[in-house]
Each structure stands twice: as structure tokens, then as C-alpha cells.
């Protein structure tokens, strides 16, 4: 992503500048190293550096967007393992504990840079009924967590309920951090669809 950002065209007149930008990485970075499949794993320290590099990159800063950092969500090891077995992969590639460390890293970066963080990991874990200090839902050392399963259809990617949490938490954070950006407060770019006069041909 850092190299992709580096290749962005920066418009001096600001016509293409985004108002808001989300940075949502970590789920794939948290895959265990040296496991089967295309290389995805990124060491935790490097992951933190990458997040900071993206957020502070000159091509991003030039647009001066309002940046929201989103933590990776938790994973369900059993569902991940079942999906991998269907692909002929018979090894553990993701763990709840390792993914939790990447979510914590994203929170640290947000705090250090003063960037608002949508803590999706904690939101999903709360929905799963988890409290701090308890074994992690999604880990194979505890019983299957049905509530977490309802959020992740394959242990990694979201079900509709998971996307609903993402949307609701994002709208909540926008309202708290940038109230002027709440959708109902934004002006129309084009006239309303039911404006009889605005859409008439001249």
C-alpha cells in the first residue's frame, strides 16, 4: 500500500482531494509467517511502521483528508481451518491471539498520530459477549462462539451482521469526530431526484 500511495497523482487545485479516508489493513498482515499460499504475513513491527507511513505519506498529507484508522477484526480459527481444508491446506494459518496483537498495534498507531480509530476488533468481540481477561472467542482453546460465527462467514470475511457493525460503528465515529460529515448534514451534489424544476431541460 505504501508504494501505491507513492504513485498517487496529487492535484494542486484539490479537485480530486478526498474529504475522508479510511485505512483498513491488518487481517491479511496477521496471517502466520511461512504458511501455505501467496505471501501475506507482515511482521508486527513492520505493520505498525506501514500504517504510520501510509497516514503520514506526503501524497496523503497533500490532500489533507480526515483519516480514520480501522483495526482488523477478530478471526475464528475453526472456520478458517475448515475453509483452508477445502483448499487442501492442512495447517494453522491464522490465530485469534495473533490477530488481536495487530488490532492492538493499530490502536497504538492511532493514538500516537492522533488519528481516530474505529476499533472493529473490540466491537466484534463485544458482540460476541467477550470481556477483557477472558479467553478469546474464535480460539480453538475455547468452545465455539455462535455470536462470533454470525459475524464471520469463513472465519475472516464478514457476514451481513458483521458489515452492519462496521457501518454503524463508522457512522458513530464520524458523528463523534466530524459531526459536519454526518450524511444527513451534507448538501446534495446534484439536485434531489424528486425536484421537478431542477431536472427540467433549459
Residue 12's pLDDT is what? 53
Measured distance CA(122)–CA(72) in Å, rounded: 10
**DSSP β-bridge partners for residue 66:** 20
Residue 10 vs residues 20, 21, 57, 63: alpha-carbon distances, Å: 16, 15, 12, 7
pLDDT of residue 10: 46
Alpha-carbon distances of 75 from 1, 97, 132, 138, 150, rounded to whole Å: 22, 9, 17, 6, 12
Model confidence at 5: pLDDT above 90: no
Domains of the chain: 2-185 (3.40.50.1110)
C-alpha distances (whole Å) from 162 to each of 15, 17, 25, 107, 117 are 34, 30, 16, 20, 17
- Regarding pTM above 0.75, the answer is yes
Kindly state the average pLDDT of the residues 93-122: 98
Is residue 51 over pLDDT 90? yes
Q: Is the model's pLDDT at 164 over the cut of 90?
A: yes
Amino acid at each position: 500500500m505504501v508504494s501505491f500511495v507513492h504513485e498517487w497523482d496529487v492535484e494542486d487545485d484539490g479537485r480530486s482531494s478526498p474529504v475522508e479516508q479510511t485505512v483498513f489493513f491488518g487481517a491479511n498482515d496477521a496471517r502466520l509467517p511461512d504458511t501455505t499460499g501467496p505471501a501475506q504475513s507482515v511482521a508486527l513491527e513492520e505493520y505498525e511502521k506501514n500504517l504510520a507511513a501510509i497516514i503520514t505519506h506526503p501524497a496523503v498529507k497533500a490532500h489533507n483528508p480526515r483519516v480514520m484508522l480501522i483495526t482488523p477484526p477478530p478471526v475464528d480459527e475453526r472456520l478458517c481451518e475448515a475453509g483452508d481444508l477445502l483448499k487442501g491446506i492442512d495447517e494453522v494459518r491464522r490465530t485469534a491471539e495473533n490477530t488481536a496483537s495487530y488490532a492492538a498495534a493499530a490502536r497504538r498507531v492511532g493514538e500516537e498520530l492522533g488519528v481516530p480509530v474505529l476499533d472493529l476488533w473490540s466491537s466484534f468481540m463485544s458482540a460476541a459477549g467477550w470481556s477483557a481477561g477472558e479467553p478469546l472467542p474464535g480460539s480453538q482453546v475455547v468452545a465455539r462462539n455462535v455470536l462470533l460465527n454470525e459475524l464471520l462467514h469463513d472465519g475472516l470475511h464478514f457476514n451481513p451482521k458483521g458489515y452492519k457493525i462496521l457501518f454503524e460503528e463508522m457512522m458513530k465515529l464520524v458523528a463523534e469526530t466530524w459531526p459536519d460529515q454526518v450524511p444527513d448534514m451534507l448538501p446534495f451534489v446534484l439536485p434531489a431526484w424528486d425536484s421537478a424544476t431542477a431536472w427540467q431541460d433549459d
